[in-house]
Structure 1
Amino acid sequence: MKHRIFLWSLTSALAGFLFGFDTVVISGAEQTIQALWGLSPAMHGIAMASALYGTVIGSLLGGWPTDRFGRRATLLWIGILYFVSAVWSGLATDVYSFITARFIGGLG
């Protein structure tokens, strides 16, 4: 039993780490992104905050899939969403696809 508690605690801690890492790591690229796509200050703010907008929605709605499909399946899909979002953000060719990818990552 203690082994399972440790694993779930570790999973939760790593999820918190990933959220913090994702929130902070964008600061290293944000000026380059703004210059690359010639973003206005308003669009720059939306692009940088899009993951946080997704997080708000994901937090509000996150209990539903957990109740319906269980913790494991939900965590698996969150990991998949996060991975797809990370790859999509890295390959984004315009600000709108970047915003969408970051928002989806925030949902997870």
Structure 2
Amino acid sequence: METLITILAGVLVTVATYLILSKSLIRVILGTAILSHAAHLLILTMGSGLKSGSVPILGEGDGVFVDALPQALILTSIVISFAVTAVSLVLTYRTYQETGTDKLDELRGTKHE
């Protein structure tokens, strides 16, 4: 199962790289969002190893417990990446209102035809 999720994270990194290298500002933002999701999958897979176990509660006795730290880090990262994506989309929308385009070449002032 870890191999499948690692391959899925690799596919997401590939898609994100393709979108980030695009000339549209919306695609760049979507690429960074997909790249953060790939990082979340990779941290989850490598951090906890997709182990099955019980919740680490005192008084439960001895047994196999799952480490909750990677899950907490991923949850924090999801919230932060959502906020960054929302702010980026608002800035992109405002830029589109002011300039009338979302093409990166036109925003730089270098039109190539």
Q: TM-score range by the shorter chain?
A: 0.3 to 0.5
- The higher relative CO (CA closer than 8 Å, separation ≥ 6) is in 1
More helix by share: 1
Larger radius of gyration: 2
**TM-score scaled by structure 2?**
0.31
**TM-score scaled by structure 1?**
0.32
